[in-house]
Amino acid sequence: MEKSYDIIVIGGGHAGCEAAMAAANLGRSVLLISMDMLGFAKMSCNPAIGGIAKGQIVKEIDALGGYTGIVTDATTLQFRMLNKSKGPAMWSPRAQCDKIQFSLTWRKILESCCKLDIYEDLAASFLFENSKICGVRTNTGAIFKCQALILTAGTFLGGKIFIGRNVFAGGRIGEKPSTGLTEQLAERGVNTGRMKTGTPPRIDISSVDVSRLAVQFGDEDPDRFSFLPVLSSVQKEGRQMNCYILHTNEKVHDVLRSGFKDSPLFTGIIHGKGPRYCPSIEDKLRVFPENNAHQLFLEPEGRWTNEYYLQGFSSSLPLDTQIDALHCIEGLENVRIFRPAYAVEYDYFDPSQLNPTLESRLVENLFLAGQVNGTTGYEEAAAQGLIAGINAALKVSGKDGFVLGRDDSYIGVLIDDLITKGVDEPYRMFTSRAEYRVLLRQDNADERLTAKSHSIGLASEERYSITMRKYEQVSALTEFCDHNNLTVSQVNPYLESVGSALLSESKKISEIALRPEVDLVELLKIVPRGTETPDKKVIESVEITLKYRGYIDREKHMAEKLHKLEDLRIPDDFDFDKVSGLTIECRQKLKRYGPKTIAQASRISGVSPADISVLLVYFGR
């Protein structure tokens, strides 16, 4: 069998699903090749979406017209807005999801797309014309041609699974790895390496004494991820599932240490670098030997299953060691497991060899997204898949690429970090990586990105209209608060009730709203009748704007200064050796990473401010 498509996507994980839908929605014919049609966007590890900085990424995916937020809302079991005690730049939505329904919902979306075909098979080898990729041959002998190919193979490239000294091939437990693709790209100069990740055991909750565990509830008023006006599953049902908090102890630690002699992490069997911010339980004991206990979380994997995820207990220790240690945790004395914890090692490609569009600089028409770029996390993968899908479609259409800046989005920060700095461990997004995080809040992702996406034809007219209408209301309410006063008699009773200093004269609503203890929703209730009360989301945006206006204006000013460097482009294949005054390290790094702008060059480790000054002088600035 031989057939041609505009774009082929290899891999049906989070990156692959977003890539396929983005390219198809931009009008291109797309083939999605997946080894398992029951596992689209499978939650291989934690059955949750969002979290610190990751929640902002999902809101951005939604604002651009992606689907991860929509699927999350449709399958949410519990919703929590993290970091509410901090400023709004740190607020991060997180949802526990029904992992089976998550995959099935994605499958329904994929199968309903008329421009998208799905083929269940293993990609065996790439097809090339000179230096350009032009298709793929599958394990069953099918040949598919394309104008662009997006590789989103996750942990399946050369995947190996480790449980103690038991080592076997697999991208996930029970699933075959993919071989040969890495070698083909390495032959064409693509730098490859090995990374490692892991997952905890899955617990049978019916064997757990939950009465002895602390309960972690969801938010009383659960929010949602998508900016579209559709209620999430927990909002519809009016109930959420609970998570549970538990702890290890010294007895648990002693049992775990007894298995260190068989740990592939300590015996040198695993060579790949693991995620520093999500270490295995044995790594925690080695790095923090003074800690007598480590916090764990039991989280549901579905609404109608007994399977629970034990967050914080990732491990590659022998099976017996894992079970013996679990039996020493309070509440888990009689626990049964559905599946042991394990580590997986896999191939990845150096992301510094990518363009900002996520197209390879060495193999034309090849786009890479997800864990193959050295990242970790569903959210980071989905974001890369969305951008790769957009840019593959634009390239096939003969249009310019779609690139987001660091002041546009966390997605822009993610991709810029990957291509300018590379990775030496699995990359994970944090709010601290974004220098403009006051601008890049979870509440305003639609304001930042929907118009950009609509301009290239991805975000729908409906989504664009909803966004424009919302921010017209935000602007009107902000202006109302800036120009209308509340009298002493109107506002003092409320101020007294919240422990705020009383007024001696009338003040503008915006001035009163600056006080940290003042809630704008309550303040607007004091406004004389006849003024329509806006939507809750509108009020939230206005309140953030009023309370943090000074910080927002300062970051906008900083971003505008950076844009001057972003506008200073460096010619392709520029010879940095002819610039006298650059340090040797700077030359080496600039030649390796090939920055497109002076601003990109400034973010490369080893390039100093003095080096940037030399470049500015050279380019006449």
> Are both 184 and 99 inside the same structural domain?
yes
Does the pLDDT at position 101 exceed 90?
yes
Other Cβ atoms closer than 10 A to 132: 14
Please indicate, yes or no, whether residues 26 and 151 belong to a single structural domain of this protein: yes
327 & 367 share domain: no
Q: What is the mean pLDDT of residues 50-71?
A: 97
Residues 225, 254 contacting (CB under 8 angstroms): no
The answer to whether the CB of 23 falls within 8 A of the CB of 152 is: no
Could you tell me if 382 and 488 lie in one domain?
A: no
Q: Identify the domain boundary among 345, 373, 397.
A: 345
CATH number of the domain enclosing 71? 3.50.50.60
Give the span between the Cα atoms of 464 and 15, in whole angstroms.
Answer: 24
Shared-domain flag, residues 395 and 473: no
Q: Is the dihedral of CA 308, 311, 316, 320 positive or negative?
A: negative
Residue 211's CATH number: 2.40.30.260
Indicate whether 464 belongs to any domain. no
Closest CA to 352 of 583, 595, 10: 595
Which letter does DSSP use for residue 347 in this model?
E
**If you ran DSSP here, which 8-state letter would residue 263 be given?**
-
The answer to whether the beta carbons of residues 362 and 355 sit under 8 Å apart is no
- Is 559 among the domain residues? no
Does one domain contain both 13 and 127?
A: yes
| Domain final position from 428, 455, 482 | 455
Q: What are phi and psi of 300, to 5 degrees?
A: -70, 145
Residue that has been written with the tokens 């437990």 in this structure: 173
111 backbone dihedrals φ, ψ, rounded to 5°: -70, -20
> Which single residue is written with the structure tokens 């950076």?
562
Report the C-alpha gap between 59 and 20 in whole angstroms. 19
Q: Are 32 and 149 in contact (CB under 8 A)?
A: no
Q: Are residues 58 and 171 in the same domain?
A: yes
Please tell me whether residues 157 and 105 are part of one structural domain. yes
pLDDT averaged over the chain? 93
Pick the closest to residue 410 from 437, 390, 389 (CA basis).
437
**What tokens were used for 561?**
């200064």
Task: Please write the tens of the pLDDT for every residue from 557-588.
Answer: 888 877 777 778 888 888 888 888 888 888 88
pLDDT of residue 215: 97
* Position 335 in a domain: yes
* Domain CATH for 524: 1.10.10.1800
Residues 147, 158 share a domain: yes
**pLDDT above 70: percentage of residues in the chain:** 99
Is 461 domain-assigned? no
Q: For 318-377, what is each residue's pLDDT tens digit? A: 999 999 999 999 999 999 999 999 999 999 999 999 999 999 999 999 999 999 999 999
**What's the domain count of the chain?**
4
The per-residue pLDDT for 225 is: 97
C-alpha separations of 402 from 386, 471, 602 in Å: 11, 24, 22
The closest alpha carbon to 355, from 379, 382, 390, 391, belongs to 391
Helices (H) and strands (E) in the chain, counts: 22, 24
Same domain (yes/no): 229, 355: no
Which residue spans within 75-121 are E strands per DSSP?
A: 76-82, 92-97, 116-120
Residue written as token pair 């989103």: 152
Q: What is the pLDDT of residues 486-515, one digit of tens each?
A: 999 999 999 999 999 999 999 999 999 999
Helices 536-547 and 549-566 pack at an angle, to 10 degrees, of 80
Residue 479 structural domain: 469-552
pTM, full prediction: 0.93
Boundary residue ending a domain (300, 330, 345): 345
Q: What is the DSSP letter of 212?
A: G
Average pLDDT for 97-110 = 97
Same domain assignment for residues 206 and 276: yes
557 exposure class (CB count in 10 Å sphere: 0-12, 13-18, 19+): exposed
Residue 558 maps to a domain: no
pLDDT for 277 beyond 80? no
Distance of CA 226 to the CA centre of its chain: 15
Does the residue 561 lie in any domain?
no
- 97: phi then psi, degrees, rounded to nearest 5: -125, 155
Question: Is 77 part of a structural domain of the chain?
Answer: yes
Does the pLDDT value for residue 207 go beyond 90?
yes
- List, edge to edge, every strand of the sheet that includes 366-368: 116-120, 30-34, 7-10, 148-151, 366-368
Q: How many CB atoms lie within 10 A of CB 536?
A: 11
CA dist 215 → 48, 93, 242 (Å): 17, 19, 7
Could you tell me if residue 523 is inside a domain?
yes
Whether residues 154 and 17 share a domain: the answer is yes
> Does 147 score more than 70 pLDDT?
yes
Residue 529, pLDDT > 60, answer: no
Q: CA neighbours within 13 Å on the CB side: how many for 502?
A: 8
| The token pair that represents 370 in the structure block | 């997800």
pLDDT digits (tens, 9 = 90+) for 15-39: 999 999 999 999 999 999 999 999 9
